[in-house]
Every structure is written in C-alpha cells, then in structure tokens.
C-alpha cells in the first residue's frame, strides 16, 4: 500500500497545477469575485454570506472534533465504555436548531435577492431595452426602441438599467457577464427570459455562453462595452448611418454577391446574420479574435483588426469549428480588399 507521504508527494504536482489553473480564473473581467455593477454586487453578497456561514460551521465542527478526539481518546489500560448519548434530547435539539437558524440566515437574503433580481424592467421608460438572441456561436443584440441590430458587442450607457429579453435562435445557451450579472438561460421553444443589469463605470466586460451548446461553445464570447451616455447616443446615431460599398468594383461585386447575402452593413444586405456595421472599431472579430492590444486596452489596433478579419474570412471554421459561416470562395485580391474594407468600417463615437 502507498503510504501517506508518497500519496501526498503524488498529489503535490496536481495541486500546484490546480493553483495555476484557478489563478487564471482571477482575470479581472471574467470574475464574479470582482463585481463591477450593482447586480453582480448583490450576487457576490450572497456568495459571501454563504461562504461565511459555511466557514463558521467548518471551524466550529473541526474545533469540537479535535477537542473530543484529543480529550476523550482511549488511554492505555482503559477498558470502560464511555457514557452513551443516543436519544439525548438536549443534544438533539441543539444540533437541529442551530442548522435551522443558519439556514434561515442564508435563506432570507437569498429569497429576497431571487425576487429582486428577477424584476422585469422592460416597461420602465428609463431603461434601455435589449433583445439578446443567442445563435451557435454568436450573440445578436437588438435595441428595439432605437431600431439597431448588432452582434458580439453590446454597447450600453453607464448608469442606465439595461432590460434584457433573452431568447435563442437554435439550442439552449446562457447569457453571462460574470463581472456585471448573470446568468440567464436562452431557451428553445419560443420562450423568453428577462434579466437586468447596469454598469456604473465605463469599461469593457467579457461575456460568455454558460451552457454547453456545441463544439465552439467555449469560443462563444461577447463583450459588454459601457460608455458614457453622450458617447452611447453618438454610437446609436453613427451605427444607423448608411454605408458605402467597397470603392474597388471587383471587391464591391464580390462583397455584395458573396457576403451581403447573409450579412448587413448599414442599410445594405440581410438582417439574419451578424450585422457587420462598425466592425472595424469593435473589440473583437467573431467575438473571439481580439482586436485590442494587451498593452493598450482601449483602442482597436488597425493592423490587428485587418489581420483578424483576414484570418476569419479566409477560414471561419478554423477559428470557430462548427459555426454557421461557410468558407467563401474568394480570390486573394477580393479577400484582402474585403478585409481592408471591413477594417475601415469604424464608428467614431468615443471621445
């Protein structure tokens, strides 16, 4: 049999590995432990209450156990049978009542939060309404009051309540922005779910699909970009401006016949697939190819945007296996021209 020391020695590398893996979860924008808005704060509050109660139970139980193990251990030569406590009323009442009290302390705020967080703000005139539709493997964001449809990047004004109506176009997904709020399932069968959140601070917050939905589930990222209300208004106006086709007629013809059959830019094309308006100033291409440089978290880097677009258009299946965009047959000139054109489709709304 393996002795305890050998066992620990074998376990050590695994433990070290887990520490590394779990430490990576501490990335600021993907952590529920670093809440950036009131909804996430409320959820974090519940976690803290639960963890505190559990820690207290662990400490007390272990302390009593240790005390009992040491104080009442069998001494050599002692043959007596200890006092039996089976059926002791006093003890039974104590170990029934204490857990009940702890559960009440945990249960009351939990139930309160459940009701609080399920409030429906969709009829609140102050709230910004967003219809979130999940697709394998992208997110569509529609602002019904503003007549805007976009994808992968949810732009919101700081300080305003965002009233989300969440649904799916295909299978079950789950909408989750760890540092702001979540999560809410998007259910098949025409069912819609509601949630709300807000961001008091400007910033970009990473969102994830939190329900295994297919081979590229893990790549189904999106961003929430909170900007000041004036920038938001500029964004909402800019994204509705008409967009011109590529200036080179060959590139324009390819783009129109091979891309606009699915996608829309400005008032051109079809509405059923990711709307590409303003893609040049988005944080990412396809939600997963990041456009912003690590050392400059604020602005999309022009060359990176071009390279990401090129990479995506050339072989979308390589980036996101199983996604619904086919590899389109393009000449090198068309490919470069379209990537260039899309990288220049920027929206100028931030100051």
Closest distance of CB 253 from ligand HEC, Å:
12
Binding partner at 225 among Cu ion, ligand HEC, none, C-beta below 5 to 8 Å by kind: none
Closest distance of CB 220 from Cu ion, Å:
4
Q: Report d(CA 202, CA 225) in Å as an integer.
A: 7
Q: Report d(CA 257, CA 265) in Å as an integer.
A: 13
Is the backbone peptide bond immediately before 255 cis, with ω within 30 degrees of 0?
no
Residue 271 within binding range of ligand HEC, rule CB under 6 A: no
* Binds ligand HEC (CB under 6 A): choice among 35, 207, 286, 337: 286
Residue 228 CB contacts under 8 Å (≥ 6 apart), including other chains: 157, 158, 202
Binding partner at 164 among Cu ion, ligand HEC, none, C-beta below 5 to 8 Å by kind: none
Binding segment for ligand HEC (CB under 6 A), chosen from 19-27, 40-48, 69-77, 309-317, is 309-317
Closest distance of CB 188 from ligand HEC, Å:
17
Is the backbone peptide bond immediately before 270 cis, with ω within 30 degrees of 0?
no
Q: Report d(CA 100, CA 185) in Å as an integer.
A: 32
Q: Report d(CA 281, CA 137) in Å as an integer.
A: 21
Residue 222 CB contacts under 8 Å (≥ 6 apart), including other chains: 138, 139, 152, 153, 154, 206, 207, 208, 287
Closest CB to ligand HEC among 26 and 321? Answer: 321
Residue 306 within binding range of ligand HEC, rule CB under 6 A: no
Closest CB to Cu ion among 239 and 289? Answer: 289
Tokens of 92: 């039974």
H or E stretch covering 286: none
State the pairing for strand pair 193-197/138-143: unpaired
* Binds ligand HEC (CB under 6 A): choice among 127, 227, 236, 309: 309
Nearest to 153 by CA among 101, 82, 221, 244: 221
Closest distance of CB 68 from ligand HEC, Å:
58
Closest distance of CB 161 from Cu ion, Å:
25
Closest distance of CB 222 from Cu ion, Å:
10
Give strand pairing partners of 153: 223
Strand order in the sheet with 221-227: 153-157, 221-227, 203-209, 173-177, 181-186
Query: What character string, x for contact with ligand HEC (CB under 6 A) and - otherwise, covers 165-184?
Result: --------------------
Residue 305 within binding range of ligand HEC, rule CB under 6 A: no
Give strand pairing partners of 265: 268
* Binds ligand HEC (CB under 6 A): choice among 43, 133, 134, 152: 152
* Binds ligand HEC (CB under 6 A): choice among 283, 320, 337, 349: 320
Residue 338 within binding range of ligand HEC, rule CB under 6 A: yes
Binding partner at 273 among Cu ion, ligand HEC, none, C-beta below 5 to 8 Å by kind: ligand HEC
49: helix, strand or coil: helix
Binding segment for ligand HEC (CB under 6 A), chosen from 15-23, 33-41, 67-75, 326-334, is 326-334
* Binds ligand HEC (CB under 6 A): choice among 121, 137, 176, 197: 137
User: Which positions lie near ligand HEC, rule CB under 6 A?
Assistant: 137-138, 151-152, 258-259, 261-263, 273-274, 276, 279, 285-287, 309, 312-313, 320, 323-326, 328, 330, 338, 342
């Amino acid at each position: 049999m393996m002795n305890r020391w050998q066992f620990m020695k074998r376990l050590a590398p695994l433990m070290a590995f887990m520490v590394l893996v779990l430490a990576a979860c501490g990335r600021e924008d993907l952590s529920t432990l670093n809440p950036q808005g009131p909804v996430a704060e409320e959820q974090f509050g519940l976690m803290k209450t639960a963890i505190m109660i559990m820690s207290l139970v662990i400490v007390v139980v272990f302390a009593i156990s240790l005390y009992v193990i040491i104080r009442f251990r069998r001494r050599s030569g002692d043959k007596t049978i200890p006092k039996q406590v089976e059926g002791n009323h006093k003890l039974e009442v104590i170990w029934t009542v204490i857990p009940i009290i702890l559960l009440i302390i945990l249960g009351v705020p939990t139930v309160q939060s459940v009701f609080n967080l399920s409030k429906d703000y969709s009829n609140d005139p102050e709230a910004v309404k967003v219809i979130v539709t999940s697709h394998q493997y992208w997110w569509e964001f529609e602002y019904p009051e503003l007549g805007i449809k976009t994808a992968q990047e949810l732009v919101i004004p700081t300080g305003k309540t965002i009233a989300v109506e969440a649904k799916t176009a295909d299978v079950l997904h789950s909408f989750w922005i760890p540092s702001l709020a979540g999560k809410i399932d998007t259910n098949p069968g025409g069912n819609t779910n509601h949630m709300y959140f807000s961001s008091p601070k400007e910033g970009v917050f990473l969102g994830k699909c939190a329900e295994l939905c297919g081979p590229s589930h893990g790549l189904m990222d999106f961003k929430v970009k909170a900007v000041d209300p004036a920038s938001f208004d500029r964004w909402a106006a800019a994204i509705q401006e008409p967009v011109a086709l590529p200036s080179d007629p060959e590139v324009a013809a390819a783009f129109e016949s091979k891309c606009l059959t699915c996608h829309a830019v400005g008032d051109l094309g079809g509405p059923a697939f990711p709307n590409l308006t303003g893609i040049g100033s988005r944080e990412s291409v396809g939600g997963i190819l990041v456009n912003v440089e690590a050392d400059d978290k604020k602005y999309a880097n022009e060359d990176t945007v071009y390279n990401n677009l090129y990479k995506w258009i050339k072989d979308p299946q390589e980036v996101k296996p199983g996604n619904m965009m086919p590899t389109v047959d393009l000449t090198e000139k068309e490919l470069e021209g379209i990537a260039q054109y899309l990288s220049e489709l920027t929206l100028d709304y931030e100051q």
